[in-house]
Amino acid sequence: MTRNTGVAGRTAAVLCAAAALTGLTVAPSGPPRHLVYVANLHSDTVSVVDTLGGTVVDSVPVGDGPDSAALGPDGSRLYVTNSAADTVSVVDTRTRTVVETVGVGHEPSRVTVSPDNRNVYVANVAEGTVSVISTRTLAVTDTIAVGDAPLGLAVTPDGRTLYVATAGADSVAVVRTDSGTVAATVPVGGGPTGLALAPDGRHLYVSNLTSDDVSVVDTRARTETDRIPVGDQPAGIGVLPDGGRVYVANTGTDDVSVISTRSHTVTDTVAVGDRPNGLAVGPDGCGVHVSNFESDTLSVIDTATTRTRATVPVGDGPTGVAM
């Protein structure tokens, strides 16, 4: 592992130390902020991990082949794609039970929730579509054709635009959420898999699984402006809340690349478990959580020190991570 934390690392250390003083605060409408949810593809469960204690505190049975998970903005519901059942499980995070199962398209993979908590977007990788679920009725209200093998999803802060990584077309589809239509298509690297939107919405970061790099997309111009080499087979990707760094899990090299958004270069590489896949950045920016598919573990990276501070055993074949 290499290290080059500098000013960014020292700043993160101060912010994380302050956040630790309030880390146990419970939001009025949601669960504790230190819980992480991990979808386990082979055990058909979601592990609930307490990152403060480094332990699994619960295991929630869901559908067949859970692949991805996303929390609503208030943290009260977790949405889990069941890739082998063509459904989405809706989990009440307080009771940790499935309260509804929603049928969607063929082989649902990634999932995300709109910032206003009105819609859930589900990428159906084998169908080339995105299913739109109303959080009020828990029914599919629209199905949007987006392109070949849709995977990663990201919604702009204003909720007006949905970005979809179409792995089979080496591009990102730009979808207008009001009309459910594709407004533009942005060519990127090979096999785009994961998407992460900068906090200000100005840049979109795309992990390209087959070209081993990360594309930087200017969301205003709708063009790729840079491409950053990383490890082999980059998959899960996330941006710190301050927008300063991007983390990407490299499935083929068992590590995580840390990218400076200022220089567009890799500044650190962190070794994790076998076949890292899903990745989620904590809301306070102090921890990055990575699922290791072959190790059946969750790695927790301290963003202040750029070191793995915990490794937690979870279910069989962990994939998607939500926090």
DSSP track, 15-49: HHHHHHTTTTPBPTTS-BTTEEEEEETTTTEEEEE
Q: What is the pLDDT of residue 26?
A: 32
Structure tokens at 12: 């993160």
Whether residue 229 has pLDDT greater than 90: yes
Whether residue 186 has pLDDT greater than 70: yes
CB-based contacts of 93, cutoff 8 Å, min separation 6:
30, 31, 35, 37, 71, 75, 76, 77, 78
The pLDDT tens digits of the residues spanning 47-104 come to: 999 988 899 999 999 999 999 999 999 999 999 999 999 999 999 999 999 999 999 9
Question: 272 pLDDT band (50/70/90 cuts)?
Answer: very high
Pairing of the two strands 276-281 and 287-292 = antiparallel
Whether residue 29 has pLDDT greater than 90: no
Name the pTM for this structure: 0.91
| Exposure of 135 in the CB half-sphere (CA atoms within 13 A) | 22
Pairing of the two strands 150-155 and 161-166 = antiparallel
CB-based contacts of 7, cutoff 8 Å, min separation 6:
none
Q: What is the pLDDT of residue 32?
A: 60
Higher pLDDT, 136 or 4: 136
Whether residue 17 has pLDDT greater than 80: no
Q: What value does the mean pLDDT take over residues 315-319?
A: 98
Question: 232 pLDDT band (50/70/90 cuts)?
Answer: very high
Whether residue 31 has pLDDT greater than 70: no
CB-based contacts of 315, cutoff 8 Å, min separation 6:
38, 40, 42, 43, 45, 46, 47, 59, 296
Q: What value does the mean pLDDT take over residues 192-213?
A: 97
**Nearest 5°: phi and psi at 52?**
-70, -40
**Nearest 5°: phi and psi at 170?**
55, 45
**Nearest 5°: phi and psi at 305?**
-105, -10
